[in-house]
Amino acid sequence: MPNRFHGGYHTKVGGTQELPLIGKASVDEIDSMKVHPSHQVQNETIIKNQKRPVVVCGLVEAKYLVCALLVVQNTGAVLLMRYTRSMPGQSNFATQTAVIMQECLKGLACIPLLLREYGTVSSAWEKPREALKTSVPALLYLVQNNLQYVAVTYLDAATYTVSYQTKIVWSGILSVLLLSRKLSLHKWLGIALLAVGVGVVQIAGTQAEDSDLSAKEDLSNPAKDQINQKSIDVAHTLRLVGMTAVITAAMVSALAGVYFEKILKGARVGLWTRNLQLAFYSVLVGYIKLATSAEGLRIRSGELTFFHGYTRLTWLCIATNAFGGLLVGTVIKYADAVMKDVALGCSIVLSSLISTILFDFQLNSLFIAGITAVIYAVFLYGERATCGGLLPTKNEAKPTSHEASATDITPTTKQVNGQLNKV
């Protein structure tokens, strides 16, 4: 029989064979595991059971900790952006400076990771032509980051969070067009359901705004009624601006992600190298954009400082957005894509609930139905949910060995989509 393990079997006088020393198993543990060579399934089960989960501080498994942090980060990033752009005294900063500082923090975070992997950061610039390719997604992400701030100015946090999931729709379509990727029926159904869910959320939000403004109508005063109707029209216009901004941001982010994946797979350049290049070009393009803007002219004239209007919450918002991408990569490392999707669903629900407290947001049955459809669509797109029993899940459709199912992801794709908090 071929030897399936490094080190071979230990043979005893009884004709039975023992497993070799695997990992950190003790000699006594090995002696207690007498398995006949033909029982390969039992051998695989023993090896699988010997894999110890990573535990942090002896209290909690790392996969649960990082998923909890991802929920907090996803929820906190949206709520903080919304709060800093809607509350008096918090929205005086120039959003372009916040985007630049966000990219600076991302670049600084990549440096120790590059040093650990290569021992130097100069490797990021050894191939100038390859590095230049990163300028394209850098420009796209710059546009996306600015559009996000526009969107949260005119949309509540819950609507923004749900609507931004249209990135999955754009990612699927663009991966077909640019990467010649074929999408399964699961994914197309997930895309369709997600689009419907976002549409339902938009209708629910509009109805909530109308009912709120209509409650303030004064039927005894026609003049006030006309003013109230104008307020409704303005609210609809601003909401349309916000929805246009968030959907465009999702599309631009998806385009940047697909292009980034293409150049990442097209050359032997590491993920953290690309991320450092991306941060560098984002800062460069961001400064050019700032220099040509009205805020930039006021900063250069000395009328304003670069950090004008910054508060502790502004810095917290910047840091939360900056380290989100690194956190997604950590989730993929210690957990899997399923837990990442669960964390995403939890963050959507949590941001909606907190919005009802912080921003006086009113949840209605139609909005809840839209949220449910979007969360289910995320799982359906990942082929981790059935469609009324008509379609099998990924594990049912493609049975794999324990080695393959242990990490049910495509590392490069997930890392690319997760980088720079574009989740």
pLDDT in tens, 5-36: 444 444 444 444 444 444 444 444 444 444 45
- Which of these ranges, 47-51, 166-170, 185-189, 232-236, has the smallest mean pLDDT? 47-51
CB 320 within 8 A of CB 77: yes
- Which of these ranges, 106-110, 123-127, 375-379, has the smallest mean pLDDT? 123-127
Using CA atoms, how far residue 8 sits from 3, 26, 199, 295, 362, in Å, is 6, 16, 60, 70, 66
pLDDT: is 306 or 404 the higher one? 306
CB 367 within 8 A of CB 158: yes
End-to-end Cα, the chain, rounded Å: 48
The answer on pLDDT for 320 being more than 60 is yes
pLDDT reported for residue 148: 92
The token duo for 44 is 């695989």
pLDDT reported for residue 3: 47
CB 285 within 8 A of CB 169: no
**Angle between helical axes of 312-322 and 324-334 (0-180°, round to 10):** 40
**Residue 61 φ then ψ, to 5°:** -65, 145
pLDDT reported for residue 345: 81
Find, among 368, 322, 291, 304, the residue nearest to 106 by Cα: 322
| pLDDT class of 245 with cuts at 50, 70, 90 | very high
Q: Is the dihedral of CA 19, 20, 21, 22 positive or negative?
A: negative
How far apart, in whole angstroms, are the C-alpha atoms of residue 1 and residue 3?
Answer: 6
pLDDT reported for residue 405: 35
Q: What is the pLDDT of residues 27-77, one digit of tens each?
A: 444 444 444 554 454 455 444 444 566 665 556 677 788 888 888 998 999
The token duo for 17 is 């064979």
Residue with tokens 């400082």: 305
How far apart, in whole angstroms, are the C-alpha atoms of residue 336 and residue 36?
Answer: 34
pLDDT reported for residue 8: 46
Residue with tokens 């407290």: 357
Helix (H, G, I), strand (E, B) or coil at 55: strand
| Other C-beta atoms lying within 10 Å of the C-beta of residue 315 | 14
Q: What is the pTM of this model?
A: 0.70
pLDDT exceeding 90 applies to what percent of the chain?
17
DSSP string, 100-147: HHHHHHHHHHHHHHHHHHHS-SGGGGS-HHHHHHTHHHHHHHHHHHHH
36 CB burial (10 A radius; 0-12, 13-18, 19+): exposed
Q: State mean pLDDT over 272-276.
A: 85
Average pLDDT, the chain: 75
| Other C-beta atoms lying within 10 Å of the C-beta of residue 157 | 24
Helix (H, G, I), strand (E, B) or coil at 17: strand
The answer on pLDDT for 301 being more than 70 is yes
The token duo for 161 is 């969070």
pLDDT reported for residue 250: 93
pLDDT: is 409 or 129 the higher one? 129
